[in-house]
Chain A
Amino acid sequence: MPSQFTAHVDANRSLGGGYVVLEIVPDDGALGEVVAGQFVMLRGEWGRELLNPRAFSVLWSQPDGRFAVLLKAYGKGTTRLVETKAGDRITVTGPLGRGFHAPQKGVTQLLVAGGVGLPPLHLHARQAAAAGNAGALELFYGGRDRDDLVLTGDFVAWGLKMSLATEDGSVGVRGFVTAPLEQRLIAARSAGDKVEILSCGPTPMLAAVRKLGLAHDITTWLCLEEEMACGFGVCLGCAVPMHGARPYQYCCSDGPVFEGSKVRWP
């Protein structure tokens, strides 16, 4: 069950490439158990200039309540959060939304990540590794260049198979991560492997991953991001176009993880 509590920044770790990990310690209360893909709404002491909290997937969460998010400066809110220092106060609401499901026996999960979309897949891999299931996961991780791929050492430590792609070719294959993903889907088909895709990243990447999933008839779970004010199903800002009786569902409360075939994208 989500709650709202005050917390403070315990550490602000730069990973290079503009990426920052904020480690947050609750003053009272705790996040509780977090499913990979669930998110928190964070708001600093912003007065009246910036009103709404900002949504971030949980990168990790500990039983004592400490947790972390990964972020990059994009707009005014993320810029302020990137600039926070240890001791700065943060209001937290979470954990919110519905996350990914754990690996099922006999089905390999292909995790496809890009940019600040890494955290839900990182947490998913961490949890699977802790449950002894790392062998059921493979990571496909894409970015612009070397600095755009972060925390890859963790996946190595957990024993995941990894395929990296960069647009400048500085690490892994040159180009988009969808290229090695497609090769993997083709290989899976000829080998008769059962696979599914779990993906989070920039929307154009997710759209391309969804199309690949549809083309290869592979179940694809997309962890989406939309602008949201509240994070818990009230403002109705974060609509996601869907097939079916309801033309829109809500990223915050119905998602953020949606099955790709049900999302009404071109």
Chain B
Amino acid sequence: MTAAPRTLAIDEAKVDLRTRMGKLALPHPVLAASGCFAYGQQFADFMDLRSLAGLSTKGISPLPRFGNPLPRICETASGMLNSIGLENVGAEAFLAEKLPFLRELGISVWVNFFGEDFATYVECARLLEAGRGNGIDVLEMNISCPNIKKGGIEFGTVPEVAHRLTRACVEVTDLPIVVKLTPNVADVVAMADAVAQAGAAGVSLINTITGMAIDVRTRRPRIATMYGGLSGPAIKPVALRMIHQVSTALPELPICGMGGIMTGEDALELIMAGACCLQVGTANFARPDAALAVRDELRTRMAQLGIATVEEVVGCIRPLPPEAARTEPT
């Protein structure tokens, strides 16, 4: 016997995609992710950038960086490894040459930034403060990139260090700082808590997972730096788990979720795990308008499931019932 399907669906026009990331109001949850969207311009040939909720720029450091030796990328099963090396134009050139284009878009501009040591992190936040009221809405502090060498790993993995670094950066800018955390830690909640206590306006979860790929013909690694950051659908389950852990333990802390989003259904999963907004990253490479496709699919999927607002499903998931209850109707 088949139960009659529940008639949940609502009209897509009735779906309200608006969301908030702390104090930041967004027309829908989907932004383009740092490192996968450069400074936006290249995408203007392919899409209406103003339809994005926002974008996070390529990570900016105080001085320009030229990046790592090649090969820098390789594709892996349902994912890709990269070791680009945080190549960027530097804060000064970003403000002068890249920000004016972004400012005109009228969308939420998140500037991802990093330093090579404690002092240059703070210096970068101070430099980017000049963009407040002038195009920059959020500073997304990257304490998690696997691709810088100089002791950078501590910023993302030792809660006390992350706390001190976040506090020092929060003190030099009035821009909200969202801290992008690494999944390469044993206790992501401790990291999120440490940066929240230091004044972070939220966290971005997750950055890439450190990985490796080998060419068995040459017995060499497939990227020059041996290890790189794994992104794409392969990492989505890890993103879901970490977003859920943080949102459950720290329900007041806004989370921007990312990690392998390719479809509207993926987006909805991350939202249900606890993300209030999202970034689409690796998918932009295959399809420049991927973030907008995700937004449209999210609306469709929500309508099919009778979900009228994003807000009602942020962090909505419940544990499965005990085994004995599995035969009962849900």
Q: Give the dominant DSSP class at B's interface.
A: loop
Asked if B286 lies at the interface with its beta carbon under 8 angstroms from chain A, I say yes
Interface residue A157 (Cβ < 8 Å from any Cβ of B): no
Smallest beta-carbon distance A90→chain B, Å: 12
User: Is the CB of B75 closer than 8 A to any CB of chain A?
Assistant: yes
Shortest 5 CB-CB contacts between residues of A and residues of B: A237-B73, A229-B285, A230-B285, A48-B233, A234-B38
Q: Which residues of B contact A93 (CB under 8 A)?
A: 46, 288
Check if B45 sits within 8 Å of A234, measured CB to CB.
Answer: no
* Residues B78 and A232 in contact, CB atoms below 8 Å apart: no
Which B residues touch A150, using CB under 8 A?
none
Measured in the bound complex, the distance between the Cα atoms of B67 and A236 in whole Å is 9
Pick the most buried of A4, A43, A77: most chain B CB atoms within 10 A of its CB: A4
A48-B283 Cα distance, complex, nearest whole Å: 10
Residue B282 lies at the interface, judged by CB distance under 8 Å to chain A: yes
A51/B87 in contact, CB under 8 A: no
In the bound complex, CA of A53 to CA of B72 (Å): 17
Per the bound structure, the CA–CA distance linking A4 and B43 in Å amounts to 11
- The minimal Cβ–Cβ distance linking B144 to chain A, given in whole angstroms, is 18
Interface presence of A18 (CB below 8 A): no
Q: How far is the CA of A236 from the CA of B45 in the complex (A)?
A: 18
Query: Does chain A have a CB within 8 A of B42?
Result: yes
Choose one: A2, A238, A246; the contact of B45 (CB below 8 Å).
Answer: A2
Residues of B within 8 A of A50 (CB): 75
Question: Which of B73, B74, B78 has the most A CB atoms < 10 Å from its CB?
Answer: B73
Which chain A residue has the least Cβ–Cβ distance from B234? A48
- Residue A91 contacts which of B66, B84, B287 (CB distance < 8 angstroms)? B287
**Chain B, Cβ-Cβ closest to A237:** B73
| Contact with A234, one of B42, B66, B80 (Cβ below 8 angstroms) | B42
Identify 6 new A-B residue pairs, CB closer than 8 A, beyond the known A227-B74, A230-B288, A235-B73.
A2-B45, A227-B75, A232-B45, A238-B72, A241-B69, A253-B42
Residues of A within 8 A of B87 (CB): 236, 248
Taken together as a complex, chains A and B put the C-alpha atoms of A240 and B66 apart, in Å, by: 12
Report if A51-B84 is in contact (Cβ < 8 Å); known contacts: A2-B45, A246-B66.
no
Interface residues of B in 44-91 (CB under 8 A from A): 45-46, 66-75, 77-80, 82, 84, 87
Instruction: Give the nearest-CB partner of A229 in chain B.
Output: B285
Given A227-B71, A236-B84, A239-B67, are A51 and B285 neighbors across the interface (CB < 8 Å)? yes
Q: Does B262 contact A (CB under 8 A)?
A: yes
Minimum CB distance partner of A53 in chain B: B286
Q: Does B315 contact A (CB under 8 A)?
A: no
A1 within 8 A of B: yes
A233 part of interface (Cβ distance < 8 Å): yes
Residue ID in chain B nearest A240 by CB atoms: B70
Chain A residues lying within 8 Å of B288, measured Cβ to Cβ, are 4, 93, 230, 232
**Chain B nearest Cβ from A52, distance in angstroms:** 5
User: On chain A, which size bracket covers the interface?
Assistant: 20 to 34
Question: Are B38 and A4 touching (Cβ within 8 A)?
Answer: no
Given the known interface contacts A49-B78, A93-B288, A247-B66, the answer about A234 and B46 at a Cβ–Cβ threshold of 8 Å is no
Contact of B46 among A4, A48, A240 (CB under 8 A): A4
Inter-chain CA distance A93–B42, complex, in Å, is: 13
- Report A-chain residues with C-beta under 8 Å of the C-beta of B79: 51
Contact A43 to B45, CB < 8 A, known contacts A51-B232, A227-B74, A229-B80: no
Partner of A248, one of B67, B77, B78: B67
B284 CB-CB contact with A under 8 Å: yes
> Are B45 and A52 closer than 8 Å at their CB atoms?
no
Complex Cα distance, B282 from A238, in Å, reads: 15
> B253 an interface residue at 8 Å Cβ cutoff?
no
CA distance A241 to B72 in the complex (A): 12
Within 8 A of A (CB), among B153-189: none
Does A52 lie within 8 Å of B75, measured CB to CB? yes
Chain A residues within an 8 Å CB radius of B283: 51
Q: Which residue of A lies closest to B77 (CB)?
A: A49
Residue of A whose beta carbon sits closest to that of B66: A247
Contact at A3–B82, with CB atoms within 8 Å?
no
Residues of A within 8 A of B82 (CB): 229, 235, 237
Task: Tell me whether A64 is interfacial, beta carbon within 8 Å.
Answer: no
**Centre residue among B66, B87, B286 by max chain A CB count within 10 A:** B286
